[in-house]
Amino acid sequence: MTDFSTFEPRTDRPKVVITDYDFGDVDIETEILEAVGAEVIALQAKEEKDLFEAASTCSAMINQYARIGQQTISHMNNCEVIARYGVGVDIVDVNAATQREILVTNVQNYCTEEVADHAISLWLALARKLPDYDRATHAGIWRWQSGQPIYRLRGRTMGVVSFGKIGQAIAIRAQAFGVKVVAYDPFVSANVAASMGVEVVSKEELLTGSDYILMQAPMTPDTHHFLSDAEFAAMKPGAIIVNTGRGPTIDNKALYRALTEGHLAAAGLDDPEEEPAKRSNWTPKDNAIFTLPNVLVTPHAAYYSEESIRAARVTAATQVAKVLTKQKPDYTVNAEALAFQTQ
């Protein structure tokens, strides 16, 4: 962690607003930010309107699940930086921030191992029918046939959607089980993939040729409902879907149809489409996916370990502290756009 004791603290007591958090406290952030003379204000906002008053006087905002959209940014008079606790910035209106000359930062490389491990865990649990066996044995049924049919992993094909650092870490783990890995990612170098024994293919080739599809896609206008009715219909019968990327990249209503009609075997989701943590009120009844026994859902926990949570908190707060003390932050989202805009 950066030693801020060597920096000259701000004397104007800038306000840093933490929009929301589920860590239990904000002690880590407070220690880092008070060291540079900032005041920390912790909220639990679930709607944008909950941020308007704080936005008008803040010098920085850090958000976990709460959206910082154009409306919130329009209330900002002195904000210098908006910092995300995670990698994705789909819940920050980066364009609006750039127009107001507000830097946006994120946290990178803090949970690659955790997400890859989680994706592989969901895949193996579904491929080996562990939920089926668990339900049966708890009901007093002791038969290997409870999971029938199960197919050997070795020799089958896994398609990875989005082949960045996490997608690559998934591929390395999967290859240890003897599966062939192909990837779809318009932005990845075929040479990089080939160096890992992975073939870059088209979306259609990945859908039609994969026994298992592991989604790690970010949320963008192009990836919303990346998998829907047409894509599920193109997949192999009995395919397994795992999503440890953004929930809305999969159309959950279409997924429900594909699973209940028997075309797909199972799905593992680290986040359903509605992303419950971003809602003020939520119940599993909102999504029919939760009624299916062949769907595993985890509460957006793929990134979690004690080590990764601490890294995310320290890094997000450090980005803010660096900006407030005129230091260069480590991870910026719109720095180039701001530089171009101010030329």
Provide CB contacts within 8 A for 207, sequence distance 6+.
159, 213, 231, 234, 235
113 is a catalytic site residue: no
Does the pLDDT at position 343 exceed 60?
no
Tell me how far CA of residue 151 lies from CA of 155, 182, 238, in angstroms: 10, 19, 10
From the candidates 84, 173, 246, 313, give the one annotated as an active-site residue: 246
User: What is the reported pLDDT for 99?
Assistant: 96
Buried b (16+ CB within 10 A) or exposed e, 277-286: ebeeeeeeee
307 is a catalytic site residue: no
CATH class of the domain at 4-110+305-341: alpha beta
pLDDT band for position 279 (cuts 50, 70, 90): confident
Every domain of the chain and the residues it spans: 4-110+305-341, 112-297
| SS3 state of residue 325 | coil
* 200 neighbors 184 (Cβ within 8 angstroms): yes
pLDDT digit string, tens, across residues 119-149: 999 999 999 999 999 999 999 999 999 999 9
pLDDT band for position 3 (cuts 50, 70, 90): confident
User: What is the reported pLDDT for 2?
Assistant: 78
Does the pLDDT at position 9 exceed 90?
no
10 is a catalytic site residue: no
3-7, 241-245, 324-328: which range is least confident on average? Answer: 3-7
User: What is the reported pLDDT for 342?
Assistant: 61
What six digits make up the tokens of 165?
């650092």
Domains 4-110+305-341 and 112-297 share a fold: yes
Question: Could you tell me what percent of the chain has a pLDDT over 70?
Answer: 98
Please tell me which residue, 155 or 219, carries the higher pLDDT value: 155
Identify the helix (H) or strand (E) that includes residue 31: helix 27-34
User: What is the reported pLDDT for 280?
Assistant: 81
Average pLDDT taken over every residue of the chain: 95
Q: How are strands ordered across the β-sheet holding 39-42? A: 39-42, 15-18, 60-63, 81-84, 103-105
Phi, psi of 341 (to 5 degrees): -65, -30
pLDDT band for position 278 (cuts 50, 70, 90): confident
Does the pLDDT at position 37 exceed 60?
yes
Q: Look at the block and give the residue holding tokens 């030693």.
A: 3
Radius of gyration in angstroms for the set of CA atoms belonging to the chain, rounded to a whole number: 22
Q: How are strands ordered across the β-sheet holding 264-269? A: 199-200, 180-184, 157-161, 212-215, 239-243, 264-269, 295-297
pLDDT digit string, tens, across residues 211-266: 999 999 999 999 999 999 999 999 999 999 999 999 999 999 999 999 999 999 99
User: What is the reported pLDDT for 293?
Assistant: 96
pLDDT band for position 282 (cuts 50, 70, 90): very high
Q: Which pTM was predicted?
A: 0.91
From the candidates 31, 113, 205, 275, give the one annotated as an active-site residue: 275
What six digits make up the tokens of 164?
């960045």
Burial class (CB in 10 A: 0-12, 13-18, 19+), 320: buried
Burial class (CB in 10 A: 0-12, 13-18, 19+), 244: buried
What would the CATH number be for the domain defined by 112-297? Answer: 3.40.50.720
User: What is the reported pLDDT for 174?
Assistant: 98
